[in-house]
A and B are shown apart, each in its own frame.
Chain A
Amino acid sequence: MTQSMTTILEVKSVTKVFDGVRALDNFSCELKAGSITALIGPNGSGKTTLLNIITGFLQADSGHVFFRPPGGGEYKVDDLAPFEVARLGLSRTFQNTRLFRQMSVMENMLLGARDAGGEGLTSAILQPARMRSHEAIKREKAVALLEQVGLLAKGDGLARDLSQGQRKLLEIARTLMSEVQLLLLDEPTAGLFPETIEKIREIIRGTQKVGTTILFIEHDMAVVRQLSDRVIVLDGGGKVAEGTPDKILNHEIISRSGLTRGSFLRDSK
């Protein structure tokens, strides 16, 4: 697949202050369409804050975020509510998995689709044939995705009864129910068994293959090395470095900071 060099997301001089602490300090970055970018940095460096600002869950104190979907157009994301951002094709997961716990796995998936029409009040009352066929299409897609992540057998079970790894898988699969242009994952592999990490890596790769751009926060440098085309290093709310994984992960400053040391040892084995 040829990689287009158009920018899908531009973060421009974003600053966010919490109670006097600069969570993000004049931060800028660009994501190329179709790329996989890893966001690394120590705890409290502003990674999740950045994700929250991009998806509209937080308002930046200054600066802007522009989203330019491949289909054309430009949206100033920082003016939009989170649900409007989501409807543009930005889909995210959360550091602490957020599932609809007391709903079935299948229902979780169906809610992942951005289908405002079929979910309206008039559709509920009139229940037109169009709504039913929408539902059938959504269900089909959900079945395929659940099968891919190995959760099809759990479809009718409640989400709260899943294991930690299954929850992460479901949350990622749920984001793929939408026509996702930009996928944002907050620590997709944290606390998981290697086999599950492998599965998640496959899903991320597969998602990139269909043209989706991916930004993910990650602490496991092995995963960063294997997956990303580009790495952005955050520290104290500012960008410390940016480049290819090879360049960044071997960079003197980064290794000296101790950020990647633990995983380096594991990596070289």
Chain B
Amino acid sequence: MDYFLHLLIITAIYVILTLSLNLIVGYTGLPAFGHAAFFAVGAYTSSLLALRFGVSPWLGLLVGACLCALLGVVVGLPSLRLKGDYLALATFGSAIIVYSVALNWVTLTRGPMGLPGIPGFSIFGFQLSAKWAYLVLMMLFVLFTYSVIRRLVGSPFGRVLRGIREDEIAALAMGKDVNRYKILAFTLGAVFAGLAGSLYAHYITFIDPSTFDVMQSINILLMVVFGGMGSLGGSVVGASVLAIFPELLRFLGMPEAVAAPLRQMVYGLLLVTLMLKRPQGILGKYRWE
């Protein structure tokens, strides 16, 4: 049961990450391959603040989100100059930089040894420890993220984002300050990914760079594409399926030595099949043209 709750909690964190990346990739059409960078900065910021200075995780969460907003501006800057594949590579680069800092700045992050003993959240002096309590907390944040992003994309602001995705030149010709919107998309996406990072760190109590490697960025992107770019419901479904489904294979009763590689293969197979059958994702309407 505890394992099941844990799985749901991790899924909820992936949902937040996927929703936030969808804003950048699916709605604004900017190929961003480095979302784990924001996830990492959120996690490390509030963990370090809590461990080194005894700052409350709640405050750390806010500080982490603010730092991520700044980082979002920096990571978004190449999007003003680069398009398509080139932008994808640039964002990939930013994720590698953040990962390398986490790995190599040992005096700050303890590098590969990671940060153990990160304190959990507490509410009115009560330390949250039960899994179900964390699940409730995560669900609240999922709900918050979902409703904010939904509000954004459903507004005239979101319409401009989609316009930029469809045709940047036309958006400029309609008087839209395209650069500003691109940076805003990155900033907003980064803030929510940062929140996910803090939530993760204070739940799991131990972080090390391996959680935030390049593969993680790819994972989140796959969830967006799998569920459907430009569909929030799709992000929820995509993140849930890809986070839970491979885990279910654990229960087939195979020895772990077989199950682990099998999980990877099933995961891959799932993606290939879907992309062939439904390139726009499970719930998506939009596809890259």
Stretch of A37-45, A124-132, A254-262 at the chain-chain interface: A124-132
24 A-B Cβ contacts within 8 A?
A: A57-B172, A57-B173, A83-B175, A83-B177, A83-B178, A86-B172, A86-B174, A98-B167, A98-B170, A99-B166, A100-B167, A102-B289, A103-B163, A107-B159, A107-B163, A110-B159, A113-B174, A119-B159, A120-B157, A121-B152, A121-B188, A123-B155, A124-B151, A135-B156
Interfacial chain A residues near B163, Cβ < 8 Å:
100, 103, 107, 111
Contact of A102 among B148, B160, B184, B286 (CB under 8 A): B286
Among B158, B175, B177, B286, residue most surrounded by chain A Cβ atoms (within 10 Å): B175
B265 interface residue (CB < 8 Å to A): no
A84 to B159, CA, bound (A): 19
Given known A-B contacts A102-B285, A103-B163, A115-B156, A94 and B175 have beta carbons under 8 A apart: no
A174 interface residue (CB < 8 Å to B): yes
A64 interface residue (CB < 8 Å to B): no
Quote the shortest CB–CB distance from B62 to chain A (angstroms).
17
A83 to B287, CA, bound (A): 27
Q: Is B173 a contact partner of A119 (Cβ separation < 8 A)? A: no
Interfacial chain A residues near B178, Cβ < 8 Å:
83
B176 interface residue (CB < 8 Å to A): yes
B162 interface residue (CB < 8 Å to A): yes
A55 to B285, CA, bound (A): 33
B169 interface residue (CB < 8 Å to A): yes
Quote the shortest CB–CB distance from A130 to chain B (angstroms).
12
Size range of the chain B interface in the assembly: 20 to 34
Q: Is A111 a contact partner of B160 (Cβ separation < 8 A)? A: yes
Interfacial chain A residues near B167, Cβ < 8 Å:
98-101
Quote the shortest CB–CB distance from B220 to chain A (angstroms).
23
Interfacial chain B residues near A101, Cβ < 8 Å:
166-167, 289
A91 to B175, CA, bound (A): 9
Interfacial chain B residues near A127, Cβ < 8 Å:
151, 155
Given known A-B contacts A100-B162, A118-B156, A123-B157, A111 and B171 have beta carbons under 8 A apart: yes
Interfacial chain B residues near A135, Cβ < 8 Å:
156
User: Contacts A86-B174, A107-B163, A115-B156 given; 6 further ones with Cβ under 8 A?
Assistant: A57-B172, A81-B172, A103-B162, A111-B176, A116-B175, A125-B152
Binding site for B on A (CB under 8 A): 55, 57, 81-84, 86-87, 91-92, 94, 98-103, 107, 110-116, 118-121, 123-125, 127, 131, 134-135, 174, 178
Given known A-B contacts A115-B156, A120-B157, A86 and B177 have beta carbons under 8 A apart: no
Interfacial chain A residues near B176, Cβ < 8 Å:
83, 111, 119
Q: Is B174 a contact partner of A174 (Cβ separation < 8 A)? A: yes
For the complex of A and B, 4 pairs with smallest distance between CB atoms: A124-B157, A86-B175, A100-B166, A124-B155
Given known A-B contacts A111-B174, A125-B151, A178-B174, A98 and B169 have beta carbons under 8 A apart: yes
Interfacial chain A residues near B162, Cβ < 8 Å:
100, 102-103, 107
A216 to B48, CA, bound (A): 62
Q: Is B173 a contact partner of A99 (Cβ separation < 8 A)? A: no
Among A101, A102, A113, A115, residue most surrounded by chain B Cβ atoms (within 10 Å): A102
A99 to B165, CA, bound (A): 11
A81 to B171, CA, bound (A): 12
Quote the shortest CB–CB distance from A58 to chain B (angstroms).
12
Name the CB-closest residue of A to B171.
Answer: A111
**Restricting to B132-169, which residues have a CB under 8 Å from any CB of A?**
148, 151-152, 155-160, 162-163, 166-167, 169
Given known A-B contacts A99-B167, A100-B170, A87 and B175 have beta carbons under 8 A apart: yes
Name the CB-closest residue of A to B184.
Answer: A121
Name the CB-closest residue of A to B154.
Answer: A124
Interfacial chain A residues near B158, Cβ < 8 Å:
124
Name the CB-closest residue of B to A93.
Answer: B173
Interfacial chain B residues near A87, Cβ < 8 Å:
175
Name the CB-closest residue of B to A131.
Answer: B156
Interfacial chain A residues near B172, Cβ < 8 Å:
57, 81-83, 86
Given known A-B contacts A83-B176, A121-B184, A110 and B169 have beta carbons under 8 A apart: no
Q: Is B173 a contact partner of A55 (Cβ separation < 8 A)? A: yes
A42 to B158, CA, bound (A): 41
Q: Is B173 a contact partner of A91 (Cβ separation < 8 A)? A: yes
Interfacial chain B residues near A98, Cβ < 8 Å:
167, 169-170, 173
Name the CB-closest residue of B to A100.
Answer: B166
**Restricting to B189-210, which residues have a CB under 8 Å from any CB of A?**
none
Interfacial chain A residues near B166, Cβ < 8 Å:
99-103
A112 to B160, CA, bound (A): 10
Interfacial chain B residues near A111, Cβ < 8 Å:
159-160, 163, 171, 174, 176
A159 to B152, CA, bound (A): 23
Name the CB-closest residue of A to B176.
Answer: A83
Q: Is A124 a contact partner of B152 (Cβ separation < 8 A)? A: yes
A84 to B158, CA, bound (A): 20
Name the CB-closest residue of A to B153.
Answer: A124
Name the CB-closest residue of B to A101.
Answer: B166
Interfacial chain B residues near A99, Cβ < 8 Å:
166-167, 170
